[in-house]
Amino acid sequence: MMGDRETHFPQLAETHRAWLQELSERLSTVCSPEADDWDRSIAVRYLEEEFVPRFRREARAIDAAAQGPPAVETMRVWAVTELLKLLRVQLIQLFHSAEGGVGFARLTAKLLRAFECWCNEVEAVVTAVPAEGIGPMSNSSDSLQQRFMAHMR
């Protein structure tokens, strides 16, 4: 899926690949309905303490860098961002209810897939825009990619 985008912005694609791999590894034990409460608690703690702060930072960076009239790409990023937030909240609620098991495994698989989609959409936004940028900042010497990376620091 990343294809040509890698040639334009390889560090973002590589960062997303590594992040998706880390997320998959950290949540792998709870992708099984047989996962126990301890495994689910570790997964929820990882999501809350490590994944969410990093996700929020990148989501804010893309929002800040892509200011202006909403393009189709930025609307898709917004939609997948909201889906990820909802899935995370549902996982936490499911963890706190005594149900767990199959439902937790299904939601975890959905979260992993949604995160992969989110990475692809962010890369599409960052790389699809001409070097001049978008919206009211299009006359700026900073490209969308440069503004995005500045917000990531």
Average pLDDT, 10 consecutive residues per value, the chain (153 residues): 50 92 96 92 95 93 71 86 95 83 93 96 78 44 54 53
What's residue 148's pLDDT? 57
Contact by Cβ (8 Å): 47, 115:
no
Is residue 66 within 8 A of residue 125, CB to CB? The reply is: yes
43 within some domain: yes
- Total structural domains in the chain? 1
Q: Can you tell me the distance from the alpha carbon of 89 to that of 69, in angstroms, rounded to the nearest whole number? A: 29
Take residue 113 and report the two structure tokens written for it: 């897939």
Instruction: Give helix then strand counts, H and E, for the chain.
Output: 7, 0
Q: What is the dihedral of CA 139, 71, 82, 49, to 10 degrees?
A: -30
The pLDDT value recorded for residue 65 is: 72
Report yes or no on 1 lying in a domain.
no
Residue 1's pLDDT is: 40
Residue closest to 30 by CA, chosen among 97, 98, 86, 112? 112
> Quick check: is 98 in a domain?
yes
Q: Is residue 51 part of a domain?
A: yes
Determine the structural domain holding residue 84 and report its residue range. Answer: 6-152
pLDDT score recorded for residue 83: 97
